[in-house]
Amino acid sequence: MSLDVLVLGAGQDVGKSCIVVRVDNKYTLMFDCGIHMKYTDSRRFPDFSLLSKHSLKIDFLFISHFHLDHCGALPYFTEKLGYAVPRPTKAIAPLLLEDCRKLIEKDEEHSYSSEMIWNCINKVIVLNLNETLPLAEDLYVRTYYAGHVLGAVMFHIHTGTSSVVYTGDFNSIADRHLGAAFIDRLHPDLMITESTYSTLLRDTRRSRERDFLFKIHQALNRGGKVLIPVFALGRAQELCLVVESYWERMGLQSIPVFFNAGLTERANAIYRIFPEWMQSEGMGNPFDFKFIRPFDMQFAELEGPMLLFASPGSLQSGASYEVFKKWASDERNLVLLPGYAQPGSIAAQLLSGSKLVALWWPSCIQLSVNIQVQNLSFSLHADGKGILSLIKQCQPSRVMLVHGGRNGMYATCSYFFQQGNFAKANRVGAQYSNDISTNRFLHGHHHRFIFALRCQYIATCISVCCR
């Protein structure tokens, strides 16, 4: 049994996820191929040059879900490859990729065309949920439900001697339209799991919804406008369902609620096609809204209170960016940030308490901010308890933390050790006795954490590799 891991992206960050695993010195697998929207140069994409440096040719590429930090680099990389995705991901990914293309088209060297998108999508091999698919004579893949967004899956890859689980992004708590992540007790040799919110323990869904609605109600009562920046797929659908459920009960039916049309509207139509991926609470066309209407930019100038869901969640561009500039000067208004804020983004600047925000488009200026800023965790990711629960459920020999920050990974390791299920060992950079090597476990300034689960029949060790 042999597993080598090469990290091309999202090593110590959230963005451009791309993990390469060499199995039994025979098959080279790539998990996700994302883009980092923070950058405008070659750093936007995973470090594909490492493939040639290590003389690796990708045999199979797996996409866990349609978010751009997991699939945005596909048209740039996969013109010569086939790759596998769940059916809803194949349906929704072209919409996001086309939207992404428009945002990055000014950078000719690091962009792609509409034709490249569709050439890429036409190569997709669709995987069904909980399906086991033979990839080669002795190589199989099985998908497991990940929650997170429509079509998100975890992958279990196994041969006769080796196995690895890649979680992608997952949510351990069911919400209004998606169920909780689930995986069998697979006992894989290696589990690669996200760690975005591994240091957090969240309140209950009901408590979060109550706080969310209370803050909206406060702002509207003082005559303010409420801007909720969301990425168009996933959190947008969940929060729209929350507002739709309570709007009339709160006596707010006279106040307009909008979502910016286009991508969200088209994506909602696709959501309706795949009810089997949603839990029963979300069945029956949950996105046929009574109170929420498509938004036109001229509505931003209307007098009086209103609520707007606008993308993207980072406030870096698009409708949310334009509306934020218009509403930022009025202290009655509220921008409610419901999830992760990419470091350096406008959303992150606001959360830091800054009253001067740096804008980079169409020119570099400092914008004075009087708008109220609130943050609530309506994340689509598992928290620390959820991550630990999935690890215990899967029972891997070793766990690799990805898709998170350096400090969070250190804190997560410390927390896990305290639970009595994990044990610490020396820092190493060579080879494990069972041939799981870490010498390819490097990516520039990025790093990874591998630790072993203490089970009845599993030796205990941890490797923390930082170079």
Just list the catalytic residues.
194
3-class secondary structure per residue, 57-84 = CCCEEECCCCCHHHHCCHHHHCCCCCEE
Distance from chain centroid for Cα 223: 34
Contact 292, 243 (CB under 8 A): yes
Q: Which of 150, 34, 179 is nearest to 92 (CA)?
A: 150
